[in-house]
Amino acid sequence: MSQAPLSLPLLGLVLAAIAVDLLLGDPRRLPHPVVGMGRVIRLLERSWNGGSPRARRLKGALMTAVVVLGVYALAWGLLAALGRLSPWLALVAELWLLATTLAIKGLGDAARAVAEPLGRGDLPGARRALSMIVGRDTAELGEDGITRGAVETVAENTVDGITAPLFWALLGGAPLALAYKAVNTLDSMVGYRNPRYADFGFASAKLDDLANWLPARFTALAIWLVAWGMPGMAARGALAATCREAPRHPSPNAGWPEAMVARLLGVQLGGTNHYRGEASHRATLGEPREPLGVAHIAAAIRLMHGGWLAFLAMLLPVLLAREWLA
């Protein structure tokens, strides 16, 4: 089913998965594929992450291949087996699998969970909510720091949690979308530049960079296009500024949506964060035409929703042309 060339039924299935995610999000009582991926990655990392730097790099690359190809093969095999039993059963299974790769509702809800106490002046509550979605220290953050953390998370995860899974789903259905989530999960667990993971997580980090390269840039463009129809957005000049500023970010991809959102909102993102008490400095993005405040979180959520809708609209003519030429 997913292995055939893109067809309108697959596009319809992806749209249905979006609807399921918007309605239900990630129900806590249902098993989630990413949880299983994480357990396998943790087990392999504990067993294989040892030896010389060269050995760790080779074993890390092997783990990356095993996890990503294994996830693809399991998803493909499951859908093929279900398809022999009942095409409808396979359809429902693929719909659910596709929905698990998306985080539209979850990302919006997480950002609003920060904005609600912040809007009431409850800084401790806002800090606790932010600590659930970022790795930085939050205990000493004021309103501007809390807002910056939430806005940066929404901007970056618009790619990781929405547009990149959609991109790969439209190319290869649930198996390819889940393979992307495996890449993303690997990067989030071992793709760090520290003594433990610099070599072992090298392949995972590079594959994640590659998988997000096009989606990140298309997403920034989509957000810019939709911003022209939104009041209060500084769209003029934002595209050129994003192209200049995005390469300053330590990630080759995260800087694109973050720089675009910063420019459109007229705020400054980036700067200094603290992780376990240690300062981490990164380049600033955007210009601080106004101070960061709780209203910018709601604006970032609006850009997120407009961005993924515009992203789909941008891809649709290309996908339909591909189908017509096939």
pLDDT tens-digit map of 121-164:
999 999 999 999 998 999 999 999 999 999 999 999 999 999 99
The yes-or-no verdict on residue 5 having pLDDT over 50 is: no
Which DSSP helix (H) or strand (E) runs through 282? strand 278-285
Task: Judge whether 181 and 161 are in contact, CB under 8 Å.
Answer: no
Which tokens go with 164? 């990149």
- Output DSSP code: residue 286: S
Task: Judge whether 178 and 75 are in contact, CB under 8 Å.
Answer: yes
The yes-or-no verdict on residue 16 having pLDDT over 60 is: yes
295 contacts: CB under 8 Å, gap ≥ 6 = none
Q: How far apart are CA 236 and CA 249, in angstroms?
A: 22
Give residue 301's pLDDT. Answer: 98
pLDDT band at 307 (very low <50, low <70, confident <90, very high): very high
Amino acid at 57: R
Which tokens go with 68? 């990503």
The yes-or-no verdict on residue 1 having pLDDT over 50 is: no
Task: Judge whether 200 and 190 are in contact, CB under 8 Å.
Answer: yes
71 contacts: CB under 8 Å, gap ≥ 6 = 33, 37, 175, 178, 179, 181, 182
Q: How far apart are CA 143 and CA 243, in angstroms?
A: 29
**Residue 325 or residue 22, greater confidence:** 22
pLDDT tens readout for residues 57-96: 999 999 999 999 999 999 999 999 999 999 999 999 999 9
The yes-or-no verdict on residue 8 having pLDDT over 70 is: no
Give residue 322's pLDDT. Answer: 63
Instruction: Please give the mean pLDDT across all residues of the chain.
Output: 93
Alpha-carbon torsion angle 222, 227, 233, 238, nearest 10? 40
Question: b/e per residue, 153-175, with b = 16+ CB within 10 A?
Answer: bbbbbbbbbbbbbbbbbbbbbbb
Q: How far apart are CA 221 and CA 226, in angstroms?
A: 9
Name which of 105, 100, 94 is nearest 9 in CA terms: 94
Give residue 323's pLDDT. Answer: 66
What are phi and psi for residue 273, nearest 5 degrees?
A: -120, 160
Q: How far apart are CA 26 and CA 105, in angstroms?
A: 8
The yes-or-no verdict on residue 97 having pLDDT over 70 is: yes
Query: 1-10, 17-26, 317-326: which has the minimum mean pLDDT?
Result: 1-10
Give residue 2's pLDDT. Answer: 47
- 3-state SS of the chain: helix, strand, coil percent to 5? 70, 5, 25
Q: What is the mean pLDDT of residues 290-310?
A: 97
309 alpha carbon, distance to own chain's centre = 15
Burial of residue 75 (number of CB atoms within 10 Å: 0-12, 13-18, 19+): buried
pLDDT tens readout for residues 250-279: 999 999 999 999 999 999 999 999 888 888
Name which of 102, 88, 89 is nearest 24 in CA terms: 102
